[in-house]
Amino acid sequence: MVAQVIDGKAFAAKVRAQVADQVAKLKEENGITPGLAVVLVGEDPASQVYVRSKGKMTVEVGMNSYEHKLDADTSEEDLLALIDKLNNDPAVHGILVQLPLPKHLNEDLVINSIDPAKDVDGFHISNVGLLGTGQKSMVPCTPLGCLMMLRDHHGSLSGMDAVVIGRSNIVGKPMAQLLLGDSCTVTIAHSRTKDLPDVVRRADIVVAAVGRPEMVPGDWIKEGATVIDVGINRIERDGKNKLVGDVDYASAAERAGAITPVPGGVGPMTIACLLANTLTAACRANGLPEPEG
């Protein structure tokens, strides 16, 4: 068996095109332009790349992009004051504080200072609680992108056995909630799970989000399973830097029915879902029907 490649790059381009069409319609019919504010504290190289990419794609779909770049030694008081200003700015519908923050800043305090209705990352404790109880919320972008790819590939996920490897608040836990919402039977596995290979082998769906390069070998994968690899790990191989996932792609692709590549799988969907969340937030803020799809 040779796995079907789930092309996240192509799917994300389709999502962004849909968002752009709906943004144009929102402008034409209601005179509203969704606005996304991104706050970057410090000069983490990876974060700078992400912020540039987010800003570029925000503009490409017709939204307003507001970038706030702060020094690494910015005080918590000043950062919270900026977030308060953005919370009260009607032109800003989505607020994203790029993580990780410098160590002197309390990430939980900062994230929970964002207006939950503008929390397009879906990290605010209110959105976490709403998602966990099956209510309308802002959904974290990476798990949302994974779910969209799974739905696109399978149609209905009802009754499928899903294993999520990783229990982070950003991916693992919300991914499990979304899969439960689609009537999967869900196991959250992690580094201390007993007989982890056997747990993974029974899964129809494997979502790997553990942050360890190529931790999941192909012989852990059930024949025909769908593998969603969230990991993005930079390693050195044959004297060259290379990006790999949490799954050993070559061996897993021989057993899986479908698999996401790294790069070009989950990553592009994260930004596409951020834009979709910003559009949703703009519609909700103005009492308009939420965009479909």
Q: Is 189 helix (H, G, I), strand (E, B) or coil?
A: strand
Mean of the pLDDT values across residues 222-237? 94
- The verdict on residue 11 lying in a domain is no
Asked whether the beta carbons of 266 and 146 are under 8 A apart, the reply is yes
Residue 121 a catalytic site member: yes
CATH number at residue 92: 3.40.50.10860
Shared-domain flag, residues 126 and 147 = no
pLDDT digits (tens, 9 = 90+) for 93-145: 999 999 999 999 999 999 999 999 999 999 999 999 999 999 999 999 999 99
Mean of the pLDDT values across residues 161-167? 98
Mean of the pLDDT values across residues 154-182? 97
- The verdict on residue 105 lying in a domain is yes
Catalytic one of 54, 118, 173, 222:
54
pLDDT digits (tens, 9 = 90+) for 195-218: 999 999 999 999 999 999 999 999
Shared-domain flag, residues 260 and 158 = yes
pLDDT above 80: residue 292: no
pLDDT at position 24 is 97
Mean of the pLDDT values across residues 147-155? 97
- The verdict on residue 22 lying in a domain is no
pLDDT at position 1 is 66
- The verdict on residue 205 lying in a domain is yes
pLDDT above 70: residue 48: yes
Shared-domain flag, residues 54 and 147 = no
Q: Is 174 helix (H, G, I), strand (E, B) or coil?
A: helix
Average pLDDT in the chain: 95
Residue 69 a catalytic site member: no
How many CB atoms are closer than 10 A to CB 116?
18
Find all residues with CB under 8 Å of 120, minimum gap 6, and list them. Answer: 36, 94, 95, 96, 138, 141, 274, 277, 278, 281
pTM across the whole model: 0.94
The label of the residue with tokens 């410098």 reads: 102
Shared-domain flag, residues 243 and 181 = yes
pLDDT digits (tens, 9 = 90+) for 13-46: 999 999 999 999 999 999 999 999 999 999 888 8
Shared-domain flag, residues 149 and 81 = no
Query: What does residue 8 show for φ and ψ, rounded to 5 degrees?
Result: -65, -30
Catalytic one of 98, 177, 229, 248:
98
pLDDT at position 111 is 97
pLDDT above 70: residue 191: yes
Give residue 9's region: left, alpha or beta (phi > 0; psi -120 to 50): alpha
> Total domain count for the chain?
2
Shared-domain flag, residues 276 and 250 = no
- The verdict on residue 191 lying in a domain is yes
Shared-domain flag, residues 224 and 123 = no
pLDDT digits (tens, 9 = 90+) for 72-91: 999 999 999 999 999 999 99
Shared-domain flag, residues 121 and 170 = no
Shared-domain flag, residues 40 and 113 = yes
Residue 54 a catalytic site member: yes
CATH number at residue 183: 3.40.50.720
Mean of the pLDDT values across residues 256-273? 96
pLDDT above 70: residue 293: no
How many CB atoms are closer than 10 A to CB 233?
16
Shared-domain flag, residues 36 and 76 = yes
- The verdict on residue 263 lying in a domain is yes
Asked whether the beta carbons of 166 and 212 are under 8 A apart, the reply is no
Shared-domain flag, residues 85 and 193 = no
Shared-domain flag, residues 164 and 264 = yes
Q: Which domain holds residue 220?
A: 141-268
- The verdict on residue 292 lying in a domain is no
Catalytic one of 18, 22, 115, 121:
121
- The verdict on residue 107 lying in a domain is yes
